[in-house]
Structure 1
Amino acid sequence: MDTTPGAVSIEPPLAPETLAVHPWASAEGRSRAHRTLNAPLFLTTQWEGGDLPELADHFARDPDRGFYTRFGHPTVRLAEERIAALEGAADALLFSSGMGAISTSLLAVLRAGDHVVAHQAIFAQTIQFLEHLSASAGVRVDFVDAADPRQVAAAMRPDTRLLYLETPSNPAIDILDIQALAAIARAHGARVFVDTTFAGPLIQRPLSLGADLSLQSASKSLAGHADVLAGAVAGAVDLVADIRKMRVLTGPSLDPHASWLLLRGMQTLSLRVRTQSETAAAVARRLEASPAVSHVRYPFLPSHPGHEVARRQMALGGGMVSFAFAGGLEATRRFVSALRWIPLASSLGSVYTTLEVPEELDFATEEIGDRAASFALPPGLVRLSIGVESQADIERDIQRGLDAVAEGTGGAPHPPTSGA
């Protein structure tokens, strides 16, 4: 702050770490009566109006402050305002799941005859929803390897309305150059949506790189405790308003109690993502050093094909690692069976370290299996989500699995680590 006599004092903007903690940091003119230290939770679905004009005014101008929860809710709105502040966005919306956010946003902007270009290695249910739109709603979709901007440029057409990206992608952890790809889309008059679930706003802010909409499963790192199902989008006021109208019609509004839990979870977001990123980097290096492992993807590993882009657009490497064994799915099963305490679980991004084998879950259906084959998802790929447990404990359990794979293939196990 400039302390020169006569100088105008300019307060620096609050850091994202601060915005994540304080419910009122981004709110202007909030009534002091409602500025509780913790966000208030209103357990009601509706409000009464003093008279007909007052209720009509709430419905027309300010449903977030009290009308009917499908239209908006004060506790939900507090969480939306906090996400908008973290994303550097003009506005944000919450939904009852990540897929609720994705599907509602796509329905809000796409019409019959529109063309979509999408990265080929994205979340399995997003692929299914885009293919559903293609089959039933007349929306044409081309899946390309968006890690190669030339493929995106070649796929663009006069009727392309949307470029859909996911980076880091689920489960392959592809890294896409948001800024370069957004420039291509903008030159063709197309919007850019980016699913940033594997990163989150303290690691990556797609809007600052040229995206029109940042989407994420708020169930993951934003909430962070495996007790909330939610989705979020953030972007410009007009685009978010269109998505809000579709949310009112389709109904995937977030429950107020889930919003309150989400607000509480975001207070520790900075602490969690830093710990998870530090541990994930160490685990990725250990995996890369194992002769049993044939494939490792972590954004901040120099061996990652998108390493330079990741360093440019991500503040941290995040808590997600994917890897595969030379022995394929059978080796993966040996690895999983040898783990002592790291559980198999279907989700990610929480305080718990968990793993999933997408080949046997998300990508097990025939149509998604065929799609996975088209972009060479390694057999038996493991998607590892790092939590906040002791780094030493996580590494010991991972090493226990690696040793089981080495023994099963006739290789020499790794020397035991201390305390194993």
Structure 2
Amino acid sequence: MSKHFETEAIRTQINRTEFQEHSMPMYLTSSFVFEDAEDMRASFSEEKERNIYSRFTNPNTSEFVDKICKMEGAEAGYAFATGMSAVFSTFAALLNSGDHIVSARSVFGSTHSLFTKFLPKWNITTSYFKVDEVDTLESLITPETKVLYVESPTNPAVDVLDLELLGEIAKKHNLIYIVDNCFATPYLQQPIKFGADLVIHSATKMIDGQGRVLGGVTVGKSELIREVYLFARNTGPALSPFNAWVLSKSLETLAVRAEKHCENALKVAEFLEKHDKINKVKYPFLKSHAMYEVAKKQMKLGGNVVAFEVKGGIDAGRKFLNTIKMCSLSANLGDTRTIVTHPASTTHSKLSEEDRNEVGITDGLVRISVGLEHVDDVIEDLQQALTAV
């Protein structure tokens, strides 16, 4: 029987033990025992599917992955200690020396560092296209190109890419199409519907939703996940059972949380768009967003992140943060608590102004992850901070 998203998130559970627990217990064990020598042999040879060692699989991580797979429409998946371990392990598992990546330029800072500082050590190169110049993408593809990689919406400038169009390009050139779906969550967007082969999440963000634990996950085609699993099994970036238990429980409330986050975020974006201290606001479900129609096509709602540019550049951005009273100053996002960040003076301060502008990070850009407080209180805090700028 086909079930709705919310039902799958709550009712997807591993088999109950003899204690008939209603809620999934924690399996805080490093290893599992065998009936006899033959059972052990068959398990290690993978003739039977069972838990052997928690670096490979664990009931808690399996339940978490099963839920994400159902939400994303994926065949298989593997859970990681962090979102970045998911990103790195996925590329490390699938690429060889000499391979080439084509990526949107607007990617998370650590992903950019991976592409420009670390993968080149193994002769794996990356070419970037700008999010507003997708028509240049195909000119970057070479015989060595193996992966097309994007985020949508992007971090931190909240740009949106046409996932279906990119899926058609990836299929045409026989590329592995990977989408970082962190900002949208599987509740708001399922990239596999638009042609993605693999989907990656930093579960640390909206999936956890309360700033408690780190985690990551990659899901998608089973033959690709098999390679990811074999790499991770031997290199050890596995998600801990405790964090998996927390994240699996968090998924039970993702739908209701996401709805409220998005409702609040849209109201905040509409407030900011009318403010005389703001140059521009970017939020996928604002009609002023350049990719509004695309966002409406591929997303259920606009997400919880709003980007806006304060008039006055870096000094104004810093003053805005210094005047915030209730909202948190943090580099995280997707929390119940509203969080504001000024990328130009913090997370992206080591980039040149030219490089920042290339990905939409102007001197006055502020990223706000809108939380679950009463939206009037969030807006009041933003108003008083903007008055002081």
Normalising by structure 2, report the TM-score: 0.96
| 2:10 alignment partner in structure 1 | 21
Between 374-383 and 187-196, report the one with greater CA deviation: 374-383
Q: Does 1:270 align with 2:259?
A: no
| 2:384 alignment partner in structure 1 | 400
Matches within 5 A, 1:265-344: 265-344=250-329
Kindly state the Cα deviation for residue 109 of structure 1 after the two structures are TM-superposed: 1.0
Kindly state the Cα deviation for residue 354 of structure 1 after the two structures are TM-superposed: 0.7
| 2:52 alignment partner in structure 1 | 67
Kindly state the Cα deviation for residue 147 of structure 1 after the two structures are TM-superposed: 3.6
Q: Which of structures 1 and 2 has the larger relative contact order (alpha carbons within 8 angstroms, sep 6+)?
A: 2
Kindly state the Cα deviation for residue 242 of structure 1 after the two structures are TM-superposed: 0.6
Kindly state the Cα deviation for residue 31 of structure 1 after the two structures are TM-superposed: 5.9
Task: Provide the rounded CA distance (Å) in 1 between the counterparts of 2:265 and 2:203.
Answer: 20
- 2:343–2:361 CA contact under 8 A, matched in 1: no
Q: Does 1:38 align with 2:33?
A: no
- 1:168–1:176 CA contact under 8 A, matched in 2: yes
Kindly state the Cα deviation for residue 60 of structure 1 after the two structures are TM-superposed: 2.9
**What secondary structure does 1:214 align onto?**
strand
Task: Provide the rounded CA distance (Å) in 1 between the counterparts of 2:347 and 2:200.
Answer: 19
- 1:43–1:257 CA contact under 8 A, matched in 2: yes
- The one-character-per-residue Cα deviations of 1:13-37 (angstroms, maximum 9, x if unpaired) are 111111111233xx7xx46747632
- 1:23–1:37 CA contact under 8 A, matched in 2: no
| 2:125 alignment partner in structure 1 | 140
**What secondary structure does 1:402 align onto?**
helix
| Structure 1 unmatched ranges of 5 or more | 1-10, 406-420
| 2:110 alignment partner in structure 1 | 125
- 2:65–2:78 CA contact under 8 A, matched in 1: yes
Q: Cα 1:84–1:62, aligned 2, differ >3 Å: closer, same or farther?
A: farther
- Which of residues 364, 367, 372 in structure 2 aligns to 1:383? 367
| Structure 2 unmatched ranges of 5 or more | none
Task: Provide the rounded CA distance (Å) in 1 between the counterparts of 2:376 and 2:49.
Answer: 46
| 1:416 alignment partner in structure 2 | none
Amino acid at match of 1:171: P
- Which of residues 75, 88, 103 in structure 2 aligns to 1:103? 88
| 1:412 alignment partner in structure 2 | none
**What secondary structure does 1:61 align onto?**
coil
Task: Provide the rounded CA distance (Å) in 1 between the counterparts of 2:286 and 2:233.
Answer: 43
- 1:295–1:323 CA contact under 8 A, matched in 2: yes
Task: Provide the rounded CA distance (Å) in 2 between the counterparts of 1:355 and 1:63.
Answer: 49
- 1:197–1:220 CA contact under 8 A, matched in 2: yes
Aligned Cα root-mean-square deviation (Å): 1.7
**What secondary structure does 2:211 align onto?**
coil
**What secondary structure does 2:103 align onto?**
strand
Kindly state the Cα deviation for residue 371 of structure 1 after the two structures are TM-superposed: 3.2
- 1:323–1:383 CA contact under 8 A, matched in 2: yes
| 1:5 alignment partner in structure 2 | none
Kindly state the Cα deviation for residue 63 of structure 1 after the two structures are TM-superposed: 8.6
**What secondary structure does 2:55 align onto?**
coil
- Greater Rg over alpha carbons, structure: 1
Q: Cα 1:276–1:31, aligned 2, differ >3 Å: closer, same or farther?
A: closer
User: How many residues align structurally?
Assistant: 389
| 1:222 alignment partner in structure 2 | 207
- 2:318–2:345 CA contact under 8 A, matched in 1: no
Normalising by structure 1, report the TM-score: 0.89
Task: Provide the rounded CA distance (Å) in 2 between the counterparts of 1:74 and 1:249.
Answer: 19
| 1:255 alignment partner in structure 2 | 240
Matches within 5 A, 1:158-169: 158-169=143-154
| 2:358 alignment partner in structure 1 | 374
| 2:190 alignment partner in structure 1 | 205
**What secondary structure does 2:147 align onto?**
strand
- 1:147–1:177 CA contact under 8 A, matched in 2: no
Matches within 5 A, 1:51-90: 51-61=36-46, 65-90=50-75
Kindly state the Cα deviation for residue 182 of structure 1 after the two structures are TM-superposed: 1.2
- The one-character-per-residue Cα deviations of 1:201-257 (angstroms, maximum 9, x if unpaired) are 000001111001110100111111111100011101111111001111221101001
- 1:64–1:74 CA contact under 8 A, matched in 2: no
Q: Cα 1:146–1:63, aligned 2, differ >3 Å: closer, same or farther?
A: farther
Percent identity of paired positions between Structure 1 and Structure 2: 31
Amino acid at match of 1:137: W
Q: Cα 1:35–1:266, aligned 2, differ >3 Å: closer, same or farther?
A: farther
Kindly state the Cα deviation for residue 360 of structure 1 after the two structures are TM-superposed: 2.6
Q: Does 1:239 align with 2:224?
A: yes
Task: Provide the rounded CA distance (Å) in 2 between the counterparts of 1:174 and 1:385.
Answer: 15
- 1:363–1:369 CA contact under 8 A, matched in 2: no
**What secondary structure does 1:189 align onto?**
coil
